[in-house]
């Protein structure tokens, strides 16, 4: 794991620092983030991961970066649980349904979001753990299977 400064803004005695955080795993997976540190508070501004992170992986990511960000902000913590993460293996997600079962799951999530007026693509992303592009691919497969109407169908 590496943490390096992006920039800093000072207002009198108060300083806000933006830090780049990068985790690289032995299997090629990578997570990059931009975090702000100010008066003991940490805010993660942006996270990019390849492959995409599932929501439960974000909590694990927070555990990995907590100690390095605390040190960067001047606060001391115990041992860094993320030490050695650069040589680790990406945590696998739980098995997902595939094929027609997956398409049914996608169609149900998509329709439920539409009915409540929410973003259906975001609902599929949350349900499957895929990135936006992956969710759109799954939605397309569900449409091809006839489980969702064509994008061009009139409402």
Work out the pLDDT band at 68, boundaries 50, 70, 90: confident
User: In this structure, what token pair is assigned to residue 68?
Assistant: 């390095």
The SS3 call for residue 51 is: coil
Asked whether the beta carbons of 43 and 98 are under 8 A apart, the reply is: no
Residues in contact with 43: Cβ distance below 8 Å, sequence separation at least 6, in sequence order: 35, 36
pLDDT tens digits for 78-137? 444 444 444 343 344 444 556 677 888 899 999 999 999 988 888 888 887 777 888 888
Q: What is the pLDDT of residues 125-141, one digit of tens each?
A: 888 777 788 888 899 98
What's the CA gap between 36 and 69, in Å, rounded? 9
Positive or negative, the CA dihedral 121, 142, 148, 115 is: negative
Q: How far apart are CA 76 and CA 132, in angstroms?
A: 37
Q: DSSP code of 135? A: H
Residue 65: name the closest of 19, 6, 28 by CA. Answer: 19
Q: Which residues of 19-58 are buried (b: 16+ CB within 10 A; e: fewer)?
A: bebebbeeeebebebebbbbeeebeeeebebebbbbeebe
CA distance 100 to 136: 16
Span 62-88, average pLDDT = 58
């Amino acid at each position: 794991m590496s943490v390096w400064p992006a920039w800093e803004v000072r207002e009198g005695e108060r300083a806000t620092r933006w830090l780049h955080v990068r985790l690289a795993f032995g299997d090629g997976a990578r997570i990059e983030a931009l975090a702000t540190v100010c008066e003991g508070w940490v805010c993660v501004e942006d996270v990019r991961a390849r492959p995409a992170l599932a929501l439960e992986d974000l909590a694990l990511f927070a555990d990995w970066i907590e100690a390095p960000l605390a040190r960067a902000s001047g606060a001391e913590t115990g041992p860094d649980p993320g030490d050695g993460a650069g040589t680790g293996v990406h945590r696998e997600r739980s098995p997902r349904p595939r094929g027609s079962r997956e398409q049914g799951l996608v169609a149900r999530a998509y329709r439920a979001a539409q009915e409540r007026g929410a973003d259906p693509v975001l609902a599929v992303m949350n349900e499957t753990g895929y990135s936006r592009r992956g969710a759109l691919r799954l939605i397309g497969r569900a449409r091809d299977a006839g489980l969702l109407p064509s994008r061009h169908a009139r409402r």
